[in-house]
Chain A
Amino acid sequence: MGEWFAENGLLLGLAGLDGLSYAALVFMVAVGLNLVFGVLRIVNVAHGSLFAIGAYTAASIGLFFTSRGLPPAAGYAALLLGAALVGGVLGPLIERVVLRRVYGYEDVLQLLVTFALFMILEDVQKLVWGVQPVFQDSPMKALGTVEVPFGDDTIPFTAYQLFVLPGVAVATLVGLAWFLRRTLTGRVIVAVTTDKEAAMAMGIDATRVTLLTFTFGAALAALGGALASPTTSLVPGIGASTIVLSFAVVATAGLGQIEGAALTSLLIGLGRSAAVYFAPELEVVVPYLIMVAVLLVRPQGLFGVVEARRV
């Protein structure tokens, strides 16, 4: 064991750091998916497309800023702008124009409507940005790298992935918990999630809450994409791979718990990056193996609440 550690310790440290920044991104997407499911009761397959389009938009704005000779710090404004734009425009558009028409429908049909949206948005993304990789990393470069002390050695790691990504994720978690529990709007959202009919009987405008929640969830997905954009080159298919992973997170965590989603993101993020370094061929499999293992023991998910069976 000691010998193995001496040989692979650094790798383990790197996997931990990588896993942390990866978990932060996964959390941003999964928490939005969870929130939207809570209120709309729809598993939004198109959530991954919002992630992808958020990433592309942020990268495009960033490239535009750089071409105008703005300082790299403007790249951060680009990230936020991209996320706000995508969430604020696509979110209400999708909810108002499409989803609203199918609320009374069977679950299967609702799921398929979002699958149709996913197919459409996937091509929109290809038509707008093409199939060539898009790369814009000025926000990450601007912060440089940090030497992380690890035992006797140090691991060089980008400050962006070390501080910005986990920082935003923690801020989102804390902010969201505060928003949902301490503000009126947040409590209204929780009320609709728990019991829509009772909430409506109390005079809550469920239509407004639905629109608000969906827009908010869309913005979180787009922000996740925007934050991810400096760390990787953007190619078609990132939306599809992101959404299946967040499905795994949401199902493993169980529905409705944002802290649970955070812990599960961490678990799955660390598991995946450990696989990347130690068993690369298992990289894609690990999140699902974790999910299957968890659901074997706890069918309602790690943090889910058992619902009473209806007679």
Chain B
Amino acid sequence: MSRRAEALLALLGVAALVFAAWAAPWLRFVLTVALAKGLAVLGILLLLRAGQVSFGHAMFLALGAYTVAFAAPGVPEALVLLPAAALLAGVAGLLIGLFVVRYRDIFFGMLNLALSMVFYSVLEKFYAVTKGTDGIRVPPLSVAGIEPARETQEWVMFGLALGLALFCAVGVRAYLASPMGQALAGIKTRETRLEFLGVPARRVMLFAYVLSAMMGGAGGALIAMTSRHVTPQLAYWTSSGELIFIGILGGAGSALGPFLGAIAFELVRVYAGAAVADAWQMILGGVLLAVILFAPGGLIGILSRQKRKQA
């Protein structure tokens, strides 16, 4: 997709989102959560560029969410908690990354899965600290020192998510176009040759991994602030699967894909859940199968194909 088309799509998307959030107030919550998830998926997109699937990235999302839940009673300020959550997730990403970037393919995926399951059961089993599966309620937060009313609060969270989403999408786009980002694609095609060129593949991976962990943490923090309740389910392996699902649904070809995918995912989930309470997973699974079989480029792929036909 050309640069202009992408910018146009982003602008149209922002306008559509703001309009939807204004026209249907109940959608504001759904869209904020979708944007937050999209942020985490954007991180996964970086690793997908290197051909690696982390089947445990929900741990960073959960880490961000629990950071907010634990720190909120002491520091009820969204603008402090959000960067703090992202930073903590980044540090965790660095420590875990130092270990997992040495592995590729199934081992990379499974190690991430293993570590996320460890985190999940810590959250679930240490009831005294984490309240187990009951989860923790997040108290109302102030933004820049002001404690807004309920509706304003919703708008503020929505705006925060939207702004962060745009910022990160632009950042990721620039990063992927830089030599560091290009090297990621090199890891996917033939890592050995990359090293012959003198590019340290593991360091390239580590950088991407830390970035993706930070985006996961920021997404998780936004989810905790919006839904005001965190549970260990956030870190379960099916949540990680969901994130990859969203990445493929939206399309890995553009930084806008994750957000497009996340919004489609959440909307299908809400509507399918309301229509057939016991079969929404089946419907989502069916959608995923259809996308992979008939549109492997994801939603963004469908859009850009349409564009090319017109031109």
> What string of 1s and 0s marks CB contacts (under 8 Å) between B35-65 and chain A?
0000000000000100101000000000000
Residue B270 CB within 8 A of the other chain: no
Q: Which of these, B111, B120, B126, B236, contacts A295 with CB under 8 Å?
A: B111
> How large, as a class, is the contact surface on chain A?
35 or more
Residue A171 CB within 8 A of the other chain: no
Residue A78 CB within 8 A of the other chain: no
> What string of 1s and 0s marks CB contacts (under 8 Å) between B228-251 and chain A?
000000001110010011001000
Say yes or no: B102 contacts A115, CB within 8 Å: no
Say yes or no: A118 contacts B285, CB within 8 Å: yes
Rounded to whole angstroms, the CA-CA distance of A148 and B245 in the bound complex is 49
Say yes or no: B192 contacts A295, CB within 8 Å: no
Say yes or no: B120 contacts A120, CB within 8 Å: no
Rounded to whole angstroms, the CA-CA distance of A288 and B125 in the bound complex is 15
B117 CB to closest chain A CB (Å) equals 5
Say yes or no: A43 contacts B125, CB within 8 Å: no
Q: Which of these, B51, B107, B109, B284, contacts A119 with CB under 8 Å?
A: B284
Q: What residues on B are CB-neighbors of A182 within 8 Å?
A: none
Rounded to whole angstroms, the CA-CA distance of A228 and B12 in the bound complex is 54
Identify the B interface with A (CB < 8 A).
48, 51, 53, 99, 102-103, 105-107, 109-111, 113-115, 117-118, 120-122, 124-126, 190-193, 196, 236-238, 241, 244-245, 248, 278-282, 284-286, 288-289, 292-293, 296
Q: Which of these, A107, A240, A311, contacts B105 with CB under 8 Å?
A: A107
Given known A247-B110, A247-B113, A248-B114, contact A119–B192 (CB-CB < 8 A): no
Say yes or no: B285 contacts A310, CB within 8 Å: no
Residue A305 CB within 8 A of the other chain: no
By beta carbon, the residue of chain A nearest B252 is A108
> What string of 1s and 0s marks CB contacts (under 8 Å) between A184-215 and chain B?
00000000000000000000000000000000
Say yes or no: A102 contacts B117, CB within 8 Å: no
Q: Which of these, A111, A240, A251, A280, contacts B53 with CB under 8 Å?
A: A111
Say yes or no: A112 contacts B51, CB within 8 Å: no
The total of Cβ contacts below 8 Å across the A-B interface reads 135
By beta carbon, the residue of chain A nearest B289 is A116
Residue A174 CB within 8 A of the other chain: no
B-contacting residues, A227-282, CB 8 Å: 240, 244, 247-248, 250-251, 255, 280-282
Q: What residues on B are CB-neighbors of A70 within 8 Å?
A: none
Say yes or no: A117 contacts B285, CB within 8 Å: yes
Can you give 22 A-B contacts (C-beta < 8 A)?
A105-B292, A105-B296, A108-B248, A112-B248, A115-B241, A115-B288, A116-B286, A118-B285, A119-B284, A120-B281, A127-B282, A240-B238, A244-B113, A284-B125, A285-B117, A288-B118, A292-B114, A295-B103, A295-B107, A299-B103, A309-B192, A310-B190
Rounded to whole angstroms, the CA-CA distance of A284 and B126 in the bound complex is 12
By beta carbon, the residue of chain A nearest B284 is A119
Q: What residues on A are CB-neighbors of B292 within 8 Å?
A: 102, 105, 109, 112-113, 116
Identify the A interface with B (CB < 8 A).
37, 43, 45, 98, 101-102, 105-109, 111-113, 115-120, 122-124, 126-127, 240, 244, 247-248, 250-251, 255, 280-285, 288-289, 291-292, 295-296, 299-301, 309-311
By beta carbon, the residue of chain A nearest B249 is A112
Given known A115-B244, A122-B281, A127-B279, contact A284–B121 (CB-CB < 8 A): yes
Say yes or no: A288 contacts B115, CB within 8 Å: yes
Q: What residues on B are CB-neighbors of A240 within 8 Å?
A: 236-238
Q: What residues on A are CB-neighbors of B237 within 8 Å?
A: 240, 244
B241 CB to closest chain A CB (Å) equals 5
Q: Which of these, B102, B117, B248, B278, contacts A284 with CB under 8 Å?
A: B117
Say yes or no: A127 contacts B285, CB within 8 Å: no
By beta carbon, the residue of chain B nearest A98 is B289
By beta carbon, the residue of chain B nearest A126 is B278
Q: What residues on B are CB-neighbors of A119 within 8 Å?
A: 281-282, 284-285, 288
Given known A105-B296, A244-B237, A251-B110, contact A123–B279 (CB-CB < 8 A): yes
By beta carbon, the residue of chain B nearest A101 is B293
Say yes or no: B111 contacts A289, CB within 8 Å: no
Say yes or no: A284 contacts B120, CB within 8 Å: yes
Q: Which of these, B48, B107, B282, contacts A124 with CB under 8 Å?
A: B282
Say yes or no: B244 contacts A108, CB within 8 Å: yes
A34 CB to closest chain B CB (Å) equals 11
Q: What residues on A are CB-neighbors of B278 within 8 Å?
A: 123, 126-127
Rounded to whole angstroms, the CA-CA distance of A310 and B115 in the bound complex is 29
B252 CB to closest chain A CB (Å) equals 8
Rounded to whole angstroms, the CA-CA distance of A106 and B288 in the bound complex is 15
Q: What residues on B are CB-neighbors of A105 within 8 Å?
A: 292, 296
Rounded to whole angstroms, the CA-CA distance of A247 and B240 in the bound complex is 15
Given known A119-B284, A299-B103, contact A285–B118 (CB-CB < 8 A): yes
B177 CB to closest chain A CB (Å) equals 22
**Residue of A37, A98, A116, A288 most packed against chain B (CB within 10 A):** A116
Q: What residues on B are CB-neighbors of A282 within 8 Å?
A: 121, 125
A53 CB to closest chain B CB (Å) equals 14
Q: What residues on A are CB-neighbors of B111 within 8 Å?
A: 251, 291-292, 295
Q: Which of these, A45, A117, A251, A288, contacts B106 with CB under 8 Å?
A: A251
By beta carbon, the residue of chain B nearest A127 is B278
Say yes or no: B117 contacts A288, CB within 8 Å: yes
By beta carbon, the residue of chain A nearest B117 is A288
Q: What residues on B are CB-neighbors of A291 within 8 Å?
A: 110-111, 114
Given known A112-B245, A123-B278, A126-B278, contact A281–B113 (CB-CB < 8 A): no
By beta carbon, the residue of chain A nearest B48 is A108
A237 CB to closest chain B CB (Å) equals 10
